Amino acid sequence: MSTDSPAMLPVQRPDVDLREMSPLALAFVGDAVLELLVRARLVGSTRLPPGRLHAEATRYVSAKAQFRELSALEPLLTEAEAAVLRRGKNASKATVAKHATAQEYRASTGLECLLGWLYLQGELDRVGQLFEALWQAGGDPARAES
């Protein structure tokens, strides 16, 4: 699989101004973008059976994993990206994931918000750059095959 750009569906530009869009709506899209990228990478780089694929994917998409990966991404962010990340982290949610702290959950929402914002802007190259850094921070899935 090429690392030049992410393997995703074409961008559907929203009719709504992204600055007016709810950070949770952006996170909703970003969650799907991240899930698609992780699944595509795992299928393209491993020979794990479906059950193991799911378990491996959670190493990248769980709130705990995203909290860890965010520390690798934050130094790479532009000022505008960091502002979107903060907006996502500060979005209020009624519930918290059962296997994550409130801090981890808010950070994961921020990361998903950022990915959704970039994707909806058509910034696929930037999504790809950040995904590569995130992937490296998540570890090597090839070890799961042994």
Which pairs from 135-141 meet CB under 8 Å and 24+ separation?
135/41, 135/60, 136/72, 137/68, 137/69, 137/71, 137/72, 137/73, 138/59, 138/60, 138/65, 138/68, 138/69, 139/59, 141/41, 141/42, 141/45, 141/46, 141/48, 141/56, 141/59
CA distance 122 to 129: 14
| Contact assessment for residue 120 and residue 13, using Cβ atoms and an 8 Å cutoff | yes
Q: Is 31 a catalytic residue?
A: yes
Catalytic residue among 4, 17, 31, 125: 31
* SS3 state at 69: helix
| Active centre residues (catalytic) | 31
